[in-house]
Amino acid sequence: MDKFRCADNEPSKIRQPVIQVIKIIDYGLGNVKAFLNAFKLLGINCDSAKVPEDINGASHLILPGVGSFDLAMKLFINSGMREVVEKTVLSSKIPILGICVGMQIMASSSDEGIKSGLNWIPGKVKKIKPTFDRKILQIPHMGWNDIAINKPNPILKSLNAPAEFYFLHSYYFLPSNENDILANFIYGENMPCAVGRDNIFGVQFHPEKSHDNGLKLLKNFSQV
């Protein structure tokens, strides 16, 4: 259903639709093309944003990322988009979804580096322990893993059971407030894999590589 906007003091005017446009923040990390293809498959307007002006008109933002925490922060800051993205997310309350390292830099800090994170959701990115119960775990954690949803949330609704997603990572985000944890996964330990606070969401796994459930999550996000 289309959303419409109409001023309260102008009830006689024709209501104009609010155009939905997903903007993928292209700061040098992450498979932007994969997200463009996924939203095209879903029939949802989507474009990349390489400079601050490209953020204009966004109804939703995706912050992708692969690689290290410090490199992601450096490239995001050097892109010149941090200020406009923070204004769009924190002041205008436009929904944003961080993916993998794109989610991790939403934290306060990381065991992986020395730079400060964005601190949009307070917490720390921690390294996965290489052993659990005397078993040696493969690091990075790579492949398909079920997730367990902690509480109802719009981006994780109506997923196919089992709720499997594709992971590739050596670190995970542990929020300071457990209420910000939306879902967990088990790889040796029980660890968070999805976080959320107000209009800010993040997932450790890769929905763009997770087939039907990945597409469902992206569609859900576009409707937040």
Strands (E), 15-170: 16-17, 22-25, 46-49, 60-63, 96-99, 109-110, 123-127, 131-132, 135-136, 141-146, 148-149, 164-169
Residues assigned a catalytic role = 100, 206, 208
**pLDDT higher for 58 or 30?**
58
pLDDT at residue 11, as a whole number: 47
d(CA 103, CA 114): 17
Domains, the chain: 17-222 (3.40.50.880)
Least confident of 5-9, 22-26, 93-97, 103-107: 5-9
Residue 135's CB: how many other CB atoms inside 10 A? 8
pLDDT, mean of residues 45-67: 95
User: Does this model's pTM top 0.95?
Assistant: no
1, pLDDT greater than 90? no
Residue 131 is predicted with a pLDDT of 85
SS (H, E, C) 28-91: CCCCHHHHHHHHHHHCCCEEEECCHHHHCCCCEEEECCCCCHHHHHHHHHHCCCHHHHHHHHHH
Give the pair of three-digit tokens for residue 130: 């290489």
Phi first, then psi: give them for residue 131, nearest 5 degrees. Answer: -135, 150
pLDDT at 6 over 90: no
State the average pLDDT over residues 120-127. 98
Amino acid letter for position 49:
A
Q: Which of 101, 119, 96 is nearest to 30 (CA)?
A: 101
pLDDT bin (cut points 50, 70, 90) of residue 9 is very low
